Amino acid sequence: MIPFVQETFRSAPLAYDGSGIDGGLYTTVTGWAQDAPHWFDRLVEVWSDLGLVVFALFMLYGWWRARSADPVVMARVLAAPLIVAAAYLVNLALKSLVEEVRPCRQIPGSVTLESCPPPGDWSFPSNHAVIAFATATALWFAWRALGLVCGVAALLMAASRVWIGVHYPHDVVAGALVGILVAIPLALAAARAAPLVDRARSGPLGPMLSVQLLRGG
């Protein structure tokens, strides 16, 4: 049922080997994926590959709601994509420093739902987890309920990366921490832009920032 079995490993010395941390748990989870129904594996795979689009939609929905909210809320919603970008850049720097080999290349006989990323596409921390949790954290400071829903989606995204076999569990945990820790101070600081939002609502950008202006009120 699982289409890809990693049988070829680099003969040259590998970069950082994270299998000693939770390689056993990784093998257990990917074993569960082997035994799961095909429809469920396919659902997880699609979510893992395309789910980041949902987080972009969460931010879009946050903007839509913030048009009728306090300027602080709008400032934080508008800052969310920038916060996610900042967290992603921090994560890329960490990846290049650690250079952890993907578990599907490090652990012989690893079985994955999709082909393993190529050599040099480092595993630690997970980019998907960083983006998902940075989005959830940024939106939580704007709308608690929206941030909570987004947080549940972020947990599912992180879990899916281990399930399909491309990350160790510690990769996604670290990615979640990076996303949260980068997003918190930036989301708090974004509130300082509220006066700019308030002024912009009476200018050319008003229809995009205020539901009252959009309605002509």
Residue 112 pairs in a beta bridge with 4
pTM given for the model: 0.87
Distance (Å, rounded) from C-alpha 61 to C-alpha 64? Answer: 5
pLDDT of amino acid 6: 45
Backbone angles phi, psi at 126, to 5 degrees: -75, 120
Q: How many CB atoms lie within 10 A of CB 59?
A: 21
**122 and 171 Cβ atoms separated by less than 8 Å:** no
Distance (Å, rounded) from C-alpha 105 to C-alpha 102? Answer: 5
* Spans of all domains in the chain: 21-214
Please choose, from the candidates 110, 118, 102, the residue with its C-alpha nearest in 3D space to the C-alpha of residue 170: 102
How many CA atoms, within 13 angstroms, populate the side-chain half-sphere of residue 106?
26
* pLDDT tens for the chain, residues 1 to 217: 445 544 434 333 456 787 888 889 999 999 999 999 999 999 999 999 999 999 999 999 999 888 888 889 989 999 999 999 999 999 999 999 999 999 999 888 888 888 899 988 999 999 999 999 999 999 999 999 999 999 999 999 999 999 999 999 999 999 999 999 999 999 999 999 888 877 778 777 777 767 764 444 4
pLDDT of amino acid 91: 97
